[in-house]
A and B are shown apart, each in its own frame.
Chain A
């Protein structure tokens, strides 16, 4: 393997080459290169590059396949961890969520960065000293017995699989966006890119691909942000200067909040929400009346020989009319909520835990709930970060304990490049929309508005509710993904940058999917097959097994993705809470509390997992509907949203470990020696984790 200096030279040239490639495509665009061709070039050039690195790094050696030979220097391991970490949700979703949620969205920013403090202080150095292959390895060696290992493996599989489905979904979405192919083709095209890399070279190939992906995704994010920053703050580093834009945004928000036309549109929505609530109050009579009215309208239209199109609309309305009064209650409640949200007063971007309620007592209550949900979400995302196996795995790939500590520093550094930019981007785009779109005539809107509302109304939708020909803020509905995807066009950049942003999003989703698939396949091949089923398997057989399982898992994940389960955000939240609840307590107490024993760990992991699963299943509206639970009878505990189930699961998991450990016999001497072994960073008492229990 090349030295750190050689690596720096290689990747330096790679970055320069990539920038040149973008520049050349830009020149090509000027000379008339069609847009579709630019999209395809980006897609195939980047996937081809990843495949090339994968083929160059192919290996059949166990240590190379599982942990890249433990020779990745801290700086590059940090980059690879960064790419592993920054997923489609970070790259595409984050800035959009910040746009829509304002201050409250910063819970994601805090949670997804602060978690690395826990990784660095509580887990990474100790895992590196242990120096085996997987997370269940650590649990199995520390607590002893196959049962603890098997449960840890189950938890690793569950949270990684849920997370990987979200990533493959993102891959499909971006591939479709770049090339206009069908979503299912997009999924399999992306999957090919993932597989060709991890299949041949395992962790070694994934590591060097992820370093390249980290460079691509950061370049793709930072270039348009710098450009937009130059326009609004006069500086290419808007991260340092967007405070002034935030101030101007607040002034504009004040104007819009008092604007009479704006208030009129919101009034219309409030009236519609009130109408829906009245219909609910008069159930079941209102349901019968509505059905009768819809039928009567059709008869009238037929009687006066109305145009066919009008008749079709009326028939469709009847076809979609709620089938029972119960359905009507659900549908109308949803309708009322949507209209009430659109009719609510304007939310100031920088105000924490904002409430639009007019009644001061209710507003105070809402603010309090929002505050606790904010804190709970931050906690869950942090503990989940320190429990998600694909990130922790990366501690194994550095040469020494000190390099593992430094690697977390570099990882967080690269992650911050994106995470410090996203809040700035959200503010800049919001200011742009509030001044360049809102208040303008429908006839002279910027070109990107029309282009994106044509693609999909889920991205952007406008209705002239009060028929004044001018866009009011309340008439505008934006989906979160458009903020990043349309950013180059909002900044007035050429199409080649739009392709670059999509390629960056693809790099983010692919790199995370790579790491996750590898984690899943390794848990199955190493922990299940090698450690529990066939302890005499040869190294070559183990690697072959890992490759076959990787292929199978990838296909199953793609299949599940095609069924489009749930939304990406809720899937990701679920994975974080499960990782936080089941793995985090057992890992931390395994190092910091010698008295923790096998039964405690088993009880802790099961409790954490069960609490999360129970809370999500009974409180998440999607599952409530599936299980036929009445939302009123299953109110959330302390008003905490199901996405933050980990806030209950982590303390309960910790308590279960402590109580059960103390109630059962102290762990054996081997486990004490194991703890002493991982706490010391020096190499002389056993290399490559030849600890007391493994000898």
Chain B
């Protein structure tokens, strides 16, 4: 299955692809269907809530999750930077 460095990069790429898919769905798929997704959500019309708040919080989560997962992966593969601890 290749060297550890190749595996590290494969896993990094997979995580990047999955998170980009989430990013695409909450941005473009949600906005494309904005006129049909109008049910009430926490007191807002759903599509308005997503564009004004929901998607933004998902973005923050994506960036947070990526930083955390990559930090763990760095340690597992021994490619972390000692100055981080």
Contact = CB atoms under 8 A, between A and B. Distances in A.
B51 A106 contact: yes
B76 interface: no
A374 interface: yes
A412 B81 CA distance: 24
Contacts of B83: 399-400, 683
26 contacts: A103-B34, A110-B27, A117-B19, A117-B23, A117-B62, A118-B23, A120-B63, A121-B23, A239-B53, A243-B42, A246-B44, A352-B31, A353-B34, A374-B34, A402-B70, A402-B74, A402-B80, A403-B84, A420-B53, A420-B56, A423-B52, A676-B5, A679-B9, A681-B74, A682-B79, A682-B80
Contacts of A114: 23, 27, 55-56, 59
B78 to A, nearest CB: 8
Nearest to A354: B35
Contacts of B81: 400-402, 681-683
B50 to A, nearest CB: 9
- Which 3 residue pairs across A and B have the least CB separation, nearest first? A243-B43, A352-B34, A106-B51
A449 interface: no
Most buried by A among B42, B53, B70: B53
B56 A109 contact: yes
B60 interface: yes
Nearest to A350: B48
A246 B44 CA distance: 7
Interface in B21-77: 23, 27-28, 31-32, 34-35, 42-45, 47-49, 51-53, 55-57, 59-60, 62-64, 66-67, 70-71, 74
Contacts of A416: 56-57, 60
Contacts of B74: 402, 681-682
Given A378-B27, A402-B84, A405-B71, A423 B53 contact: yes
Nearest to B15: A121
Contacts of B49: 243
A681 B66 contact: no
Nearest to B83: A400
B42 A405 contact: no
Given A682-B80, A683-B83, 5 more contacts: A125-B70, A371-B34, A400-B84, A592-B13, A683-B82
Chain B interface residue number, banded: 35 or more
A680 interface: yes
Contacts of A118: 23
A109 B59 CA distance: 12
A350 B52 CA distance: 10
A685 to B, nearest CB: 9
Contacts of A106: 48, 51-52
Given A117-B23, A683-B81, A374 B9 contact: no
A116 interface: yes
Given A121-B16, A374-B31, A683-B81, A402 B5 contact: no
A239 B49 CA distance: 11
A110 B51 contact: yes
A121 B66 contact: yes
B56 A113 contact: yes
Contact of B59 (A125, A403, A412, A592): A412
A171 to B, nearest CB: 28
B63 A680 contact: no
Contacts of A374: 31, 34
Nearest to A405: B67
Nearest to A400: B81
Given A375-B31, A406-B67, A682-B81, A103 B51 contact: yes
Nearest to A427: B52
A446 to B, nearest CB: 27
Given A125-B70, A682-B80, A683-B83, A246 B20 contact: no
B67 A402 contact: yes
Interface string A212-254: 0000000000000000000000000001000110110000000
Contacts of A378: 27-28, 31
A398 to B, nearest CB: 11
Contacts of A350: 44-45, 48
A375 B66 contact: no
Contacts of B27: 110, 114, 378, 382
Contacts of A403: 84
Contacts of A399: 83
Given A114-B23, A409-B60, A680-B79, A367 B71 contact: no
Nearest to A106: B51
Contacts of A22: none
A120 B67 contact: yes
A121 B20 contact: yes
A412 B49 CA distance: 19
A400 B9 CA distance: 18
A375 B60 contact: no
A122 interface: yes
B60 A405 contact: no
B33 to A, nearest CB: 9
Nearest to B67: A405
B69 to A, nearest CB: 10
Nearest to B26: A114
A419 interface: yes
A408 interface: yes
Contacts of B52: 106, 109, 420, 423-424
A246 B40 CA distance: 12
A403 B74 CA distance: 13
Contacts of A353: 34-35
Most buried by B among A109, A243, A378, A403: A243
Nearest to B78: A682
A247 B43 contact: yes
Most buried by A among B5, B51, B60: B51
A593 to B, nearest CB: 11
B81 to A, nearest CB: 4
Nearest to B70: A405
A683 B66 CA distance: 20
A424 B52 CA distance: 9
A352 to B, nearest CB: 4
Interface in A40-72: none
Nearest to A353: B35
Contacts of B32: 371, 375
A375 B35 contact: no
